Amino acid sequence: MIDPMAVAADVLVAAVGIATPLALAATGETIAERSGVVNLGVEGAMLFGALGGAIGATAVGPVVGLGIGVLAGVLVAALFAAVAIGAGADQIITGTAVTLVSVGLTGTIYRQFYGPAGVGLSLPTLSPLPLPILSDTPLIGSALFAQPVTTYAAAALIPLTWYLLFRTRFGLALRAVGEDPPAARAAGVSVRMVRTWAVLLGGACAGLAGATLVLAQVGTFTERMTAGRGFIAIAIVVLGRWNPVGAGLAALLFGLATALQFALQAAGLKVPYQFFLMFPYLLTLLALAGAVGRVKAPAALGRNEY
């Protein structure tokens, strides 16, 4: 009765959809971490991106919502940069504080705008844009080529980021700052400036990721709706070995695990779906332990002295 091929194709569609915000946020965090900054405020930037997206879409439309979401993410990242880079505070503590502030503040702002009872607002969403011909490819056609515009944005952002990091002067300076800040400084690179730009770019990606959740998926804002995706993105950066292409693939793996466990539950199979949820984390741990290829973090990651 149910065509297994069609089910597999649908699972892939869901996997890519779930992976999109993760890939966006992880790509942004890869930029920040390559410059030597661990930004645990990603979760907060995503939440603000989601709220900004909702407000922008209510006021004007979904495309403006995406723009406001990006802007909101940049602002949260700027707060982090001011404290962690400008004032030289501990990155981990600053990032945690930024996320905590964001959780509280987005909830408060949301209730101010839309009332405490929170009747779910219904926003216009970005519908899938099927690319002609390509989207008819069997199995993977609709997963890769019939997605909302934000998925294409993520797909474009990954090679662009790779190019930025590994093929431009700015990328070279950025990686130098992440590996050996004193040497970079001796070569005339402003460590603070480069790190600030890296964090702001990361914030823009996180904001877009949050707006994607609202405008390409749920169609509404709910408090804490990012539900830890910012932290998963940080794990994805590790699993992706501080490379945007790796981050994209790792995000897909997380997306696939989630999509698969829902498909199994919906099929009524009595399998422990928790195992599938655990799987990508297990892989991340293994990656950290050096079992899945050799992993080397930027040498100056998390360190402020330079």
Partner 1 sequence: MIAARALGWVLAGVLLASCATREAPAPFRVALITPGSIADAAWNSGAFTGLGQIHDSLGVPISHVEARTPAEQEEALRTYAAQGYDLIFGHGFEFQSPAERVSADYPAVVFIITSGERVQGNVAPLIFRLSEASYLAGMVAGGLTKSNVIGFVGGVELPPVREASEAWVAGARAVNPEVQSRTTYLNNWDDAALGREAARALIRVGADMLHHNADAAAIGVFQAAKEAPGVYLFGANADQTELAPSRVVGSAVIDLPRALLLVAREVQSGTFTPRVESFGLGSGVVQYVPNLALDSMIPVALAERVRAAEDSIRQRDGQ
> Which among 281, 265, 282, 283 is positioned nearest to 273, based on CA atoms?
265
Single-letter amino acid, residue 124: P
State yes or no: residue 4 binds partner 1 (CB under 8 A): no
State yes or no: residue 219 binds partner 1 (CB under 8 A): yes
State yes or no: residue 262 binds partner 1 (CB under 8 A): yes
Cβ(276)–Cβ(260) below 8 Å: yes
Cβ(248)–Cβ(193) below 8 Å: no
Residues 78 to 97: which contact partner 1 by CB under 8 A? 96
Min dist. Cβ of residue 213 to partner 1 (A): 5
Indicate which single residue of 236, 258, 284, 287 sits in contact with partner 1 (rule: CB under 8 A). 258
Kindly indicate which of the ranges 11-19, 76-84, 143-151, 175-183 contains the residues binding partner 1, using the contact rule CB under 8 A: 11-19
SS3 state at 146: strand
Min dist. Cβ of residue 121 to partner 1 (A): 10
Under 8 Å CB-to-CB from 188, ≥6 apart: which residues? none
State yes or no: residue 222 binds partner 1 (CB under 8 A): yes
Indicate which single residue of 86, 111, 156, 183 sits in contact with partner 1 (rule: CB under 8 A). 111
Min dist. Cβ of residue 20 to partner 1 (A): 10
Indicate which single residue of 220, 237, 241, 284 sits in contact with partner 1 (rule: CB under 8 A). 220
Alpha-carbon distance values, 306 to 32, 33, 77 (Å): 17, 16, 21
Min dist. Cβ of residue 263 to partner 1 (A): 5
Min dist. Cβ of residue 209 to partner 1 (A): 11
Q: Looking up tokens 């959780």, which residue turns up?
A: 103
State yes or no: residue 122 binds partner 1 (CB under 8 A): yes
> Which among 157, 149, 194, 196 is positioned nearest to 173, based on CA atoms?
194
Residue with Cβ nearer partner 1 (180 or 223): 223
Cβ(77)–Cβ(132) below 8 Å: no
Question: Cα(52)–Cα(266) distance, rounded to whole angstroms?
Answer: 33
Cα atoms found within 13 Å of the Cα of residue 126, Cβ hemisphere only: 27
Min dist. Cβ of residue 258 to partner 1 (A): 7
State yes or no: residue 112 binds partner 1 (CB under 8 A): no
Cβ(295)–Cβ(287) below 8 Å: yes
Indicate which single residue of 63, 224, 282, 291 sits in contact with partner 1 (rule: CB under 8 A). 224
User: Taken in order 84, 89, 92, 94, is the CA torsion positive or negative?
Assistant: negative
Give contact residues for partner 1 (rule: CB under 8 A).
2, 7, 10, 14, 17-18, 21, 43, 96, 99-100, 103-104, 107, 110-111, 114, 116-120, 122, 125, 213, 217-220, 222-225, 227, 258-259, 262-263, 265-268, 274, 277
